[in-house]
Amino acid sequence: MFDLAGADPAVRFSPYCWRIRLALAHKGLAVETVPWHFTDKDAIAFSGQGAVPVLQDGEQVVTDSWAIAEYLDKTYPEKPLLDGPQGRALASFARHWSQNVLSGILLRGVLLDIYAVIREEDKAYFRESREKRLGMKLEDFVITPEAVLAQIKTAASPLRALLSEQPYIHGDKPAFGDYCVFGAFMWARNVSPIKLLDEGDAVYAWRERMLDLHDGLARKSPRGQA
C-alpha cells in the first residue's frame, strides 16, 4: 500500500490511508506500506491516478479508500467484514460527514502543520495546489486552536450523542464508518499537537478506544514535529 509520508518517512498522516491501514488490520490482512510523498507521482502512475492510498494486492491494483474497503470485503469475505450492506450504508454517511464537515474544520487547524512536516521538495507543490483550491494563502486559512476546538464541539454533537449510547459508530464493534471518521483525527494527530476534543467528551473516549484497536496500531504511529 502506498501511504502518504512526511519528510520523516515514519510519519504517516493521510486520513484516507489511515482508513485502509485500520481496515486491513480489522480484516487481519498483513500489509507492507510504501512511504509516498506528494510529488512522487511517477511511483503510482501505474494506478492511473495521482492520489493515495493505492493498494496492490497481487495482480490487483485498487485506488480510492471507499473502493478499497469494498474490494477487501468482496475479495476476503471469510475475514471479519468491514461492513455488510447495512453497515456500508451507515459508513457512507460517516465518510461524507468526515470529509465534508470534520476535515474542513481540522484543516483550518492543521494546514500549516502539514506544510511543516512534508519534505522540502514537496512544499512548493503543496502550497500552490492548496492555495489554488482554497482561494487564499495557507497562512490566511488557519484559525486559532481555540476556534477549532469550539467548531468541532458543535459539529460533532450528533456523533457525541451517538457515542454516548454505544461504544462505536457501528454499534458494539467498530467498522468502516468508524475508520472513516477516525482517519480524520489521525491526520491531525500525526502532524499537530493541537487539542481537538475535551477529555470529558464521549468522542474523546471513542477516539481513545480507536487508538487502542488492533494492538494499538494508531497509537503507536509516530507523530511529526512541526
Instruction: Provide the minimum distance between the beta carbon of 28 and ligand GSH in the complex, in angstroms, as a whole number.
Output: 22
Nearer to ligand GSH, 15 or 174 (CB): 15
SS (H, E, C) 116-134: HHCCHHHHHHHHHHHHHHH
Q: Provide the minimum distance between the beta carbon of 39 and ligand GSH in the complex, in angstroms, as a whole number.
A: 8
Tell me whether residue 89 or residue 150 sits nearer to ligand GSH (CB atom).
Answer: 89
CA atoms of 107 and 171, how far apart (whole Å):
28
Q: How far is the CB of 199 from ligand GSH (least distance, A)?
A: 28
| CB nearer to ligand GSH: pick between 8 and 64 | 64
Q: How far is the CB of 205 from ligand GSH (least distance, A)?
A: 26
Contact 39, 122 (CB under 8 A): yes
Q: How far is the CB of 200 from ligand GSH (least distance, A)?
A: 30
61: enclosing H helix or E strand: strand 60-63
Residue 200 CB partners (closer than 8 Å, separation 6+):
none
Return the DSSP state at 199. Answer: T
| Residues paired with 151 in a beta bridge | none
Q: Which of 108, 46, 56, 86 is nearest to 169 (CA)?
A: 86
Residue 15 or residue 109: which is nearer to ligand GSH going by CB? 15
Residues that bind ligand GSH (CB under 6 A): 4, 14-16, 38, 50-53, 64-66, 129
Question: Quick one: 50 or 145, whose CB is closer to ligand GSH?
Answer: 50
| CA-to-CA dists, residue 7 to 71, 106, 204, angstroms | 31, 21, 29
Kindly report the CA angle at 68 between 63 and 70, in degrees rounded to 5?
140
Q: Are 150 and 157 in contact (CB under 8 A)?
A: no
Smallest distance from the beta carbon of 180 to ligand GSH, in angstroms?
A: 9
- If the CB atoms of residues 70 and 81 are measured against ligand GSH, the closer one turns out to be 70
